[in-house]
Amino acid sequence: MNGLFQLFNNLNSDIKHKTLDRRHRHFWSSRPWSAFFFAREVLILSITISSLNAAENVPIPLEHWSYPLLEYFRTEGILHINLETKPIKREDVKLALEELKEKYVNGKLDIDPVEDELLASLYEEFFPFSKNDFRNNPKTIYENCSCLLKEESYIKTHLINKKENSENNIGINTYLWGNIGKYLSFAEEINILYKKNWEANDTLGIRKWKNLRGVTPFALFNLSFSHLEINIGRNVNWLGPGKFGTFLLSNNYPYFDGINGNIKIKKVKFSSFFIVINVDSAKYLSGHRIEISNIRGLTLGINEFVIYSGRIEPGYLSPLLILYGEQYNRGDRDNIFWGLDLSFYPMKKYRIYSEFLIDDFQYESSPPAPNKYGTILGLEITEPFHIPRFNLSMEYTIIRKWVYTHKYPENVYSNYSLCLGHPLGPDGDELNITIREILRWNVIPQLHFLYRRKGEGRLNEPWQPGIDPHPPFPSGIVKSTMLFDVSIFLKPFSSSEFTFGWKTYRNENLHNVDDWLEQDNEFFTNILLTF
């Protein structure tokens, strides 16, 4: 123990004499013992982590507060973590923070006091030792040498006030996760939501009782080894680097039931999916993805998916088969998709990303038929013009007419008329611009602008022979939407979060009806209370 205390004293002296940013030096000088105790706790953690049952190979829900901070530090070049496919696991974040801790302890990070607090809040969430009280830590219900059970619950309220009416809903969420032994982990999320006026797209096959609906978006087991993991159960998947939507699997559809496996060897990750879309109509989705990460700042992903119905196709379950060849040999009746995505960091504070989707590509000119494809182009910059903790995101998406459709209605890329991929759907394009500045770790204002065009193409209207395969884009009467909203995120206490905002929008040619105009303003409030 004397050796450990000597090491801590040496570390404390080293931290005090590092050449840091002036603001950073002032931050530590105002709290001289903070660096010492934080460094000591991090090192104690690294020494004892193998004996504390720390493997938490469970997904982090897509709405979790940590994702914007992880994306910010990743673009800054501070944190090295792969966020192109989500949800990521808690263990992935812990490993990334472990890799960072030596630079953090030794004062080698070029960060200001607010960024220091942001990092501290991440350490507080994923390692149970920090006492800064930034947020309510997940509660440990049970823990011994081989088992772990944690819980996090909150109440979330969403209020909207428009000119002519108001809307509100309130939900109670409970998230449980843990592990049984060294290799088996589990996670479950239970949501109960009250809403006065439910719309048709709100149902998704979920029954209502007295304006209440209950759903379990997460319920899975994870079996993890050094290079192999298998997830069984209900999950949410986000494949691709897009911030406002992805082409193949996104949160536009709330959850998927199925099995997926991942094999990871160094920088290469291979994933295979089998998803049950709808039990009643026997509709399934199979696919695989290969991802090569961080090759001189470049991450590349290649996807192949097929949606089919009426039977389970054994060939589609093989991770190694080329799905297009299999479906062609089986009669060419299923719906095949190919995807390519990339994310590139040319330098610190810059990220360029793109996705390209091919639904159908005509390599023969006769008979004439449409090419069905979509493209996403995006740019993310942190601290442009040397504005501290400022973040700029721009993303343009275009999806051609008849993408996601199919000649057999049962193989359309949808469920309950809701697209399984990008929320824009076919025959449209949109531009999203978001600027955000982190004034403090608990004060974050944001501005968002959207311009969208939507043609007359619909998921349930496939191309038929005799129809012009190359119509104007967008087709027919074009609905256009312009939206602007401003909001601010506040967290005055560790157990509460508030978002206040104002939104204005204008829809021209609503529902693709000529001269049908809709415009409105609304105020919205989100309140989250953890307990």
Q: How confident is the prediction along the chain (531 residues), in pLDDT tens digits per residue?
A: 333 233 333 334 443 333 333 333 333 333 433 443 444 344 344 434 333 444 678 888 888 888 999 999 999 999 999 898 889 998 899 999 988 887 877 777 888 889 988 888 888 888 866 556 677 778 888 888 788 898 989 999 988 887 767 778 899 999 999 999 889 999 999 999 888 777 665 666 677 788 888 889 889 999 999 899 999 999 988 999 999 999 999 888 888 899 999 999 989 999 999 999 999 899 999 999 999 998 889 999 999 999 999 999 999 998 888 999 898 888 888 999 999 999 999 999 999 999 999 998 877 666 778 889 999 999 999 999 889 999 999 999 999 999 999 999 999 999 988 899 999 999 999 999 999 999 988 899 999 999 999 999 999 999 988 898 889 999 999 999 999 999 999 988 888 999 999 999 999 999 999 999 999 999 999 999 988
Q: Do 282 and 349 sit in the same domain of this protein?
A: yes
Q: Do 166 and 270 sit in the same domain of this protein?
A: no
The rounded distance, in Å, linking the Cα atoms of 444 and 244 is 19
- Candidates 471, 455, 463; CA nearest to 402 is 463
Measured from the Cβ of residue 149, the count of other Cβ atoms closer than 10 Å reads 15
Q: Do 201 and 280 sit in the same domain of this protein?
A: no
Rg, the chain, Cα only:
25
Q: Do 266 and 367 sit in the same domain of this protein?
A: yes
Given CA atoms 403, 407, 409, 410 in this order, what sign does their dihedral have? negative
Is 388 part of a structural domain of the chain?
Answer: yes
Six token digits for residue 488:
């601010």
The rounded distance, in Å, linking the Cα atoms of 223 and 263 is 12
Is 394 part of a structural domain of the chain?
Answer: yes
Q: Which domain holds residue 6?
A: 2-126
Q: Do 201 and 296 sit in the same domain of this protein?
A: no
pLDDT of residue 144: 82
Given CA atoms 67, 69, 72, 73 in this order, what sign does their dihedral have? negative
Q: Do 6 and 65 sit in the same domain of this protein?
A: yes
Burial status of residue 144 (CB atoms within 10 A of its CB: 0-12, 13-18, 19 or more): exposed
Q: Do 211 and 243 sit in the same domain of this protein?
A: no
Six token digits for residue 257:
């039931």
Q: Do 146 and 109 sit in the same domain of this protein?
A: no
Is 335 part of a structural domain of the chain?
Answer: yes
CATH of the domain at 276: 2.40.160
Is 372 part of a structural domain of the chain?
Answer: yes
Q: Which of 424, 439, 462 is the last residue of a domain?
A: 424
Measured from the Cβ of residue 177, the count of other Cβ atoms closer than 10 Å reads 24
pLDDT of residue 140: 85
Domain count, the chain: 3
Q: Do 418 and 370 sit in the same domain of this protein?
A: yes
Q: Which of 126, 154, 177 is the last residue of a domain?
A: 126
- Candidates 81, 155, 96, 156; CA nearest to 126 is 96
3-state percent breakdown (helix, strand, coil) of the chain, nearest 5: 20, 45, 35
The rounded distance, in Å, linking the Cα atoms of 153 and 265 is 36
**What would the DSSP string read from start to end of 455-467?**
-S--TT----TTS
Is 69 part of a structural domain of the chain?
Answer: yes
pLDDT of residue 19: 33
Q: Which of 101, 126, 151 is the last residue of a domain?
A: 126
Strands (E) located in 310-416: 335-344, 350-360, 372-382, 390-399, 414-415
Question: Tokens 């193989």 appear where?
Answer: 411
Q: Do 284 and 375 sit in the same domain of this protein?
A: yes
Q: Do 97 and 23 sit in the same domain of this protein?
A: yes
Q: Do 201 and 252 sit in the same domain of this protein?
A: no
- The secondary structure of residue 59, as a DSSP letter, is B
pLDDT of residue 420: 93
User: pTM for this structure?
Assistant: 0.86
Is 453 part of a structural domain of the chain?
Answer: no
- Candidates 148, 86, 210, 115; CA nearest to 441 is 115
Is 301 part of a structural domain of the chain?
Answer: yes
The rounded distance, in Å, linking the Cα atoms of 79 and 70 is 7
**What would the DSSP string read from start to end of 388-401?**
TTEEEEEEEEEE-T
Q: Which residues 6+ apart lie within 8 Å of 472 measured at CB?
A: none
Is 500 part of a structural domain of the chain?
Answer: no
Answer whether the bond into residue 474 is a cis peptide, omega within 30°.
Answer: yes
